[in-house]
Amino acid sequence: MGSKNGKPVLTEEQAEALAASSGLDATQVREQFDAFVAEHPNGKMKKKDFREMMQKAMPKKDASKMEGHVFRIYDTNNDGVIDFVEFMVVFYIMSDGTPQEVLSKIFRVFDVNSDGTINKKELTRLIKDLFSLTSQSASTQDMYGLINSDNPEQASKEFIAASAFTEMDKDADGKITNEEFVNACLGQEQFSKMLALKIIDIFVEDDA
């Protein structure tokens, strides 16, 4: 995305590319761009703006602990802001992408330091934040039900992190690649799939 006299500009090539990937036509893409720039005059959404957007999208959920994780999905070049192209690409992949495309984006949620792999510490941290967001959800209770313990919530966080990590880390080298993550989720691995579904749930409007 370029700029002219300090004002963000969507090039013809970008409009056509986004139209092809989103199912919108180029005119609709430009309308979306104009609306984005009206909200963000410099063409960039900061974390504060993103937080406000998430609060509007999910008024019934306390998304504060997840906003940093979800922000990473959109901020594909790790510059600390989200531009229109990044926003549109992710938005349409999450809503209508292939399972592989969606899971590759979700991988960025887990990859806290953006080094292209997930370690056990990153996975454990995300699970704790996920549980704080959706502690009463049915899928979380399903996870608790897999563990026999006096304190299932605490035990399950550690157990699920360890179990999911083992499922994903097929070559047992202590880190999970994007390919390993996608394969584990698509392969119906129990904990891997459950975690991916919990993250997808964040993008689905909760009318309950």
Same domain, 191 and 155: yes
| Its pTM surpasses 0.95 | no
Which of 147, 106, 112, 140 shows the shortest CA–CA distance to 126?
112
Range(s) of the domain holding residue 117? 99-203
Same domain, 71 and 164: no
pLDDT value at 183 more than 70: yes
Please count the structural domains in the chain.
2
Same domain, 85 and 120: no
The CB density around residue 26, as the number of other CB atoms within 10 Å, is 16
Same domain, 81 and 108: no
The 10s digit of each residue's pLDDT in 129-179 is 877 665 544 454 554 454 444 554 555 778 888 999 999 999 999 999 999
The CB density around residue 54, as the number of other CB atoms within 10 Å, is 18
- Domain closes at, from 47, 65, 96: 96
Given CA atoms 1, 53, 198, 29 in this order, what sign does their dihedral have? negative
Same domain, 157 and 125: yes
Same domain, 92 and 155: no
